[in-house]
Amino acid sequence: MLRSALRSSEADDGVESLIRRAVTLSQISGADFPPRFFEVELDGLVRHRSDKLMSPTAIAEYLGQVSPLPFAPDFPFADQIRKAVQPAVKLDTLELRISGLEEPVYRPHRKAFTDEKRKGTFEDVEVFTIPDVDGGLAAIGWLLHHEYDGAVPSGTGFKGVRLRAGNVQIGGNALLEELFTEPRFNSWSIGEVHILDRRIVPNARRDDFEQNSHYSNLLNQLSPIARAVSKRCRTSSRRRQLLRDVEIQEGGIKERLQILAQGGIRREARKAQGTQIDHALNKMTRIANAQELENDKQKLLSRIAKLWERTRAAIGTISNSPLDMLAPHKRAMYGQMFELIYDCSVNRLAAKALVDRILERISTTDSGKGATESVRRSNRAATAGKGNKRRAASRKKGSSARKTRRKAQSSYTNGAKD
């Protein structure tokens, strides 16, 4: 109506007349309402595409971050924060309800937070104070510590260290990111700073504070706290990197143990595989002794000890292989071929799968050939044995005949002389 009146070509009666025509005033009984409250009703709005003003959930998410609302009942550190901050800041100011939502709106902090990659759990809360230039209290804040495994998901509504004045958020979650050794570490953090010094004043847009000496003092005092959080982030990042290195080395060792158990490579190659396993185990031991893995050291050393035992057993054991039924020159040929496959393949698992298929083919084809050849050798041996017996009998018979002839000839000669 107001827009239509402004476009009208009728005589202008003034602003008061326009407002009286556009506004309707009514009175209702307040018997069922609390002593102090306010209510905002949006009526006759037109939706424009994905208009967030028409979404009760989107409005609740925004107001839950910026408004002076109580913590959710399932937030485990609510009482601890309230007791630490309450003397200076009045928390849990409002009870907010939105049409279309059954539950009242709370601050976004919950028991934990999750995303597609991980589930984060809160470990501890740290409360700190910031003095002003006169020695009074400029601000009080709290940090919610967790695993620091990466950036807090944006959908949680509490990513980053945020500033509040009068328990109302000023600016966004990135207002203090320049205080961290790396700006990204602010998104790993969870916390709030409540401004108490009235000389630190929000600007007109309420997206930052007026730049003055008191605000500069606040930022200078917050810098060591941000650096301490950055150190936690860096330590956690370094720890995850070391654990990934351990997993990589352990995976390589297990692959090489499978190659040794396969029995398809020659003695020199087996020795080389054992040497590579020794290097990997030594690297795992050095990683396990790193300062960042102090809490994981015993578990890692236990895993390393088990791998040492498996390695010694694998090196000292000569596995049965389909190559054992082949002739020596063929075993050497296949062994050299398998070593080339492992050396030239980018993926050791794929190389092992290929060698497994080759060995399976050898066991199903050359074993039959080997059995046939064995039968043939046995037949040839049996035939040769019979021939040898006949030749031996023939030689024995010929020798007896020669002895008989020599004896008869000797008797004839002696008779002639007589």
92 domain-assigned? yes
Residue 198 lies in a domain: yes
CATH number at residue 140: 3.30.230
In this prediction, residue 171 carries a pLDDT of 95
What's the CA gap between 89 and 94, in Å, rounded? 14
**Domain match, 226 and 88 both:** yes
Residue with tokens 């260290």: 161
Q: Which domain holds residue 170?
A: 65-232
pLDDT band at 375 (very low <50, low <70, confident <90, very high): very low
State residue 32's pLDDT score. 80
Phi, psi (rounded to 5 degrees) for 135: 90, 0
pLDDT digits (tens, 9 = 90+) for 321-333: 666 667 777 777 8
Residue 359's pLDDT band (cuts 50, 70, 90): confident
Residues 329, 226 share a domain: no
CA atoms within 13 A on the CB side of 84: 18
Question: If you average pLDDT over each of 308-317, 360-369, 390-399, which comes out highest?
Answer: 308-317
Domain boundary among 207, 232, 257: 232
Same domain for 221 and 326? no
Lowest model confidence (mean pLDDT) among 2-11, 180-189, 355-364: 2-11
Residue 293 lies in a domain: no
Q: Which of 348, 182, 188, 326 is nearest to 254 (CA)?
A: 348
80 and 224 share one domain: yes
Question: Looking at residue 5, what is its pLDDT?
Answer: 67
Q: Where are the alpha helices (DSSP H) in 74-173?
A: 78-85
Q: Indicate the residue type of 227.
A: R
Residue 139 lies in a domain: yes
Give the percent of the chain with pLDDT over 70.
82
Q: Is residue 298 part of a domain?
A: no
Model confidence pLDDT, tens digit, residues 253-296: 998 888 888 777 777 777 888 888 999 999 999 999 998 899 89
Q: Is 146 domain-assigned?
A: yes
**More confident of the two residues 414 and 312:** 312
- pLDDT at 372 > cutoff 60: no
In a domain, 129, yes or no: yes
User: What confidence tens digit (pLDDT) does each residue in 128-137 have?
Assistant: 999 999 999 9
Q: Say if residue 378's pLDDT is above 60.
A: no
Q: Tell whether 80 is covered by a domain.
A: yes
- Indicate if 94 and 225 belong to the same structural domain: yes
Q: How confident is the model at residue 370 (pLDDT cuts 50, 70, 90)?
A: low
Question: Can you tell me the mean pLDDT for 29-33?
Answer: 80
Tell which of 211, 232, 253 closes a domain: 232
Separation CA 418–CA 411 (nearest Å): 11
Considering the domain architecture, whether residues 82 and 214 belong to the same structural domain is answered as yes
Q: What is the mean pLDDT of residues 116-139?
A: 90
Number of domains in the chain: 2
Residue by residue, DSSP assigns 193-257 as: EEE--TTS-B-TTSSSB--SHHHHHHHHHHHHHHHHHHHHHHHHHHHHHHHHHHHHHHHHHHHHH
d(CA 120, CA 148): 8
Same domain, yes or no: 227 and 333: no
> What pLDDT shows up at residue 1?
62
pLDDT higher than threshold 60 for residue 373: no
Q: What SS3 class is residue 181?
A: coil
Which domain-ending residue is among 201, 232, 263? 232
**Is residue 94 domain-shared with residue 212, that is, in the same domain?**
yes
Q: In the predicted model, is pLDDT for residue 9 greater than 80?
A: no
Does 219 share its domain with 346? no
Q: Quick check: 149 and 120 in contact, CB under 8 A?
A: yes
Higher-scoring residue by pLDDT: 94, 299: 299
Q: What is the model's pLDDT at position 415?
A: 52
The mean pLDDT of the chain is 83
175-232 tens-digit pLDDT: 999 999 999 999 999 999 999 999 999 999 999 999 999 999 999 999 999 999 999 9
266 vs 28: which has the higher pLDDT: 28
